[in-house]
């Protein structure tokens, strides 16, 4: 049942989505009419609600993917398809110690927190104070601020405070500057992942990873998402698809003799 202060997602008859927090005496208004918050409090998730104009809405608690595309933002949020890929390919597991930078609007931060569970630790760096404050607010709005999140208004290029972390996940314009800082911060066998929008950035990062001779294998790929429209006998792809949003570069830190690992470009690939 919905209670006061719960976040609620309502979907109108054309599939448009709206998210707001319930408050006694509050109102939601759109071109389809007004719904009293009091009429939603106490309703079961998945119920129908009517505006005073007679328009019907479905009501749910918002999913993560609904919230991050609607939440206030300073920086561009990472698309849900990329978040899902990051969590799987970086092998974010319950209990993991993870360093993230930059936090941006906090979309990936929320996903990382849910993946590491209550036994993990997340250390997130954000250089811009306005983004730092907005991320803090967005995280608290969706899930409350957990004790295992250390959010820092700090430039990670100046140094990483943590040592022996399992994963390093970066959404930065020049992530190659972080590579020299990983000698003591990222444990051997740990995973380094960076999200980058352009091929020039990808080339610079891969060159730096190879030059360090401490990361192998190195993989580069992107993900694309296309919805399909199924109506009776008509089955066709949607005209709009979420195509290129970013490249993902992923590598593992190696121990032992670095000279044993090849540096040739033949040993990394771009996958589609």
Q: Is residue 172 a known part of a binding site?
A: no
pLDDT for 246 equals 95
Which residue is listed with tokens 């390093």?
Answer: 168
Q: Is residue 106 a known part of a binding site?
A: yes
Kindly state the average pLDDT of the residues 236-254: 92
Give the chain's mean pLDDT. 92
DSSP assignment string, 100-139: EE--TTSHHHHHHHHHHTTTSEEEEE-S-HHHHHHHHHHH
Q: What confidence tens digit (pLDDT) does each residue in 128-146 have? A: 999 999 999 999 999 989 9
Q: Which domains does the chain have, with CATH numbers?
A: 7-62 (3.10.330.20), 66-271 (3.40.50.150)
Q: Is residue 171 a known part of a binding site?
A: yes
Task: Report the length, in residues, of the chain.
Answer: 272
Q: Is residue 126 a known part of a binding site?
A: yes
Under 8 Å between Cβ of 65 and 80 = yes
Q: How far apart are CA 12 and CA 82, in angstroms?
A: 27
Residues above pLDDT 90, as percent of the chain: 85
Q: pLDDT band for position 257 (50/70/90)?
A: low
pLDDT for 74 equals 76
**Which tokens go with 125?**
């760096």
Which residue is listed with tokens 């000279």?
Answer: 259
More confidently predicted of 171 and 73: 171
Q: Is residue 66 a known part of a binding site?
A: no
pLDDT for 70 equals 87
**Residues 6+ away with beta carbon under 8 Å from 250:** 89, 90, 191, 192, 193, 194, 218, 219, 220
Q: Where are the alpha helices (DSSP H) in the chain?
A: 37-40, 64-70, 80-89, 107-116, 129-143, 182-185, 199-212
Strand partners, 56: 50
Under 8 Å between Cβ of 116 and 93 = yes
Q: pLDDT band for position 256 (50/70/90)?
A: low
Q: How many other β-carbons are positioned within 10 Å of the β-carbon of residue 88?
A: 10
Q: Is residue 7 a known part of a binding site?
A: no
Q: Is residue 108 a known part of a binding site?
A: yes
pLDDT for 261 equals 56
Q: pLDDT band for position 47 (50/70/90)?
A: very high
pLDDT for 77 equals 79
Residues above pLDDT 70, as percent of the chain: 94
More confidently predicted of 125 and 271: 125
pLDDT for 259 equals 60
Q: How many other β-carbons are positioned within 10 Å of the β-carbon of residue 146?
A: 15
For residue 42, pLDDT beyond 70: yes
């Amino acid at each position: 049942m919905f209670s006061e202060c719960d976040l609620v997602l309502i979907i109108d008859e054309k599939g448009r989505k709206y998210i707001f927090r319930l408050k006694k005496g509050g109102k939601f208004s759109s071109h389809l009419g007004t719904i009293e918050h009091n009429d939603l409090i106490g309703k079961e998730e998945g119920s129908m609600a009517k505006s005073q104009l007679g328009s019907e809405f479905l009501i749910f608690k918002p999913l993560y993917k609904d919230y991050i595309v609607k939440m206030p933002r300073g920086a561009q949020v990472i698309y849900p398809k990329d978040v899902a890929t990051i969590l799987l390919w970086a092998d974010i597991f319950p209990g993991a110690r993870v360093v993230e930078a930059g936090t941006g609007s906090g979309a990936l931060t929320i996903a990382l927190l849910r993946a590491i569970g209550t036994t993990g630790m997340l250390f997130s760096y954000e250089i811009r104070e306005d983004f730092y404050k907005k991320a803090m607010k967005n995280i608290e709005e969706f899930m409350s601020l957990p004790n295992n999140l250390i959010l820092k208004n700090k430039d990670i290029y100046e140094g990483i405070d943590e040592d022996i972390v399992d994963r390093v996940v970066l959404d930065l314009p020049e992530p190659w500057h972080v590579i020299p800082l990983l000698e003591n911060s990222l444990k051997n066998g740990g995973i380094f992942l960076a999200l980058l929008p352009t091929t020039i950035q990808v080339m610079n990062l891969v060159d730096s990873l190879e030059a360090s001779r401490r990361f192998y294998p190195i993989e580069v790929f992107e993900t694309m998402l296309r919805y399909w429209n199924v109506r009776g006998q008509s089955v066709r792809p949607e005209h709009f698809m979420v195509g290129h949003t970013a490249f993902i570069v992923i590598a593992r830190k190696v121990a032992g003799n670095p000279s044993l690992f090849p540096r040739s470009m033949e040993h990394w690939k771009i996958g589609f």
